[in-house]
């Protein structure tokens, strides 16, 4: 039978391309199974392989320079009723970095502490870049580490002051949370794949996702 896009697959190429098209449109595995008449388990296996490939692709991105927005936020890996606020139980802490008019980068952390955030920032943002954050204390040493640093203080109902804002990274955060909400709770062990997929999709929002994936799979089949 053969499938040059997915090794050892029993699914024919034409059907695989159909599945890939629905994945590119960000349909859930259940939706795709209903539309293609392929078992949900088979679709889930393909989706998992695609997400692992996308995760690998995100590792190839370089450092940011220029104007960068940084924000920390909490995502729900599983929906927990009645739990809200910073560090609430059942949420996963994530730091996000966004180059204005450019790409985003995300990283799961254990705590949104200076000890964790600063190495991530220094590893991803070139010195002398301009960094915009909220008033969270973990960003206090940015200037000492060679960055120009501007803040907005959400605790004081300040959300923008000229160029000082983090609207871009907050837009990504809203997009990622909306996107993951349709899965009715992402299992914690798969959360990183969904997060990095959201990052990759955002970074290629002006591209045709299907064509990008087809090009990748022609070079390196699943």
pLDDT of residue 159: 65
pLDDT of residue 18: 98
What are the phi and psi torsion angles at 159 (to 5°)? -120, -15
Helices of type H across the chain:
13-24, 29-36, 40-58, 114-124, 167-181, 191-203, 209-219
Positive or negative, the CA dihedral 19, 24, 27, 28 is positive
Model confidence band, residue 158 (pLDDT cutoffs 50, 70, 90): low
Strands 91-99 and 130-133: unpaired
Collect contacts of 113-116 with beta carbons under 8 A, ≥24 apart.
113/138, 114/138, 114/139, 114/140, 114/141
- Residue closest to 79 by CA, chosen among 184, 212, 209, 171: 184
d(CA 62, CA 137): 27
d(CA 136, CA 138): 6
Nearest 5°: the CA angle 103, 218, 179 is 40
pLDDT at 80 over 50: no
Contact (CB, 8 A) for 149 and 133: yes
Rounded mean pLDDT, 18-46: 97
Model confidence band, residue 83 (pLDDT cutoffs 50, 70, 90): very low
pLDDT of residue 185: 77
Model confidence band, residue 154 (pLDDT cutoffs 50, 70, 90): confident
| % residues pLDDT > 70 (the chain) | 91
pTM: 0.91
């Amino acid at each position: 039978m053969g499938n040059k896009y997915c090794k050892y697959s029993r699914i024919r190429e034409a059907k695989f391309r159909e599945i890939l098209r629905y994945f590119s449109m960000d349909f859930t595995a259940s939706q795709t199974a209903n539309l293609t008449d392929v078992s949900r388990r088979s679709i889930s296996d393909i989706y998992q392989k695609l997400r692992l490939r996308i995760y690998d692709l995100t590792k190839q991105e370089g450092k940011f320079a220029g104007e960068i927005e940084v924000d920390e936020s909490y995502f729900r890996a599983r929906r927990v009723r009645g739990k809200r606020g910073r560090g609430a139980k059942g949420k996963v802490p994530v730091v996000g970095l966004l180059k204005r008019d450019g790409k985003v980068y995300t990283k799961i952390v254990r705590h949104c502490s200076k000890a964790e955030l600063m190495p991530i920032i220094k590893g991803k943002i070139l010195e002398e870049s301009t960094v915009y954050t909220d008033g969270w204390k973990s960003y206090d040493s940015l200037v000492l580490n060679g960055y120009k640093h501007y803040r907005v203080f959400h605790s004081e109902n300040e959300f923008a002051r000229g160029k000082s804002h983090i609207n871009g990274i907050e837009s990504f955060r809203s997009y990622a949370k909306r996107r993951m909400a349709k899965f009715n709770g992402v299992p914690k062990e798969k959360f990183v794949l969904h997060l990095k997929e959201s990052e990759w999709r955002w970074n290629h929002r002006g591209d045709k996702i299907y064509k990008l994936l087809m090009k990748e799979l022609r070079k390196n089949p699943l």
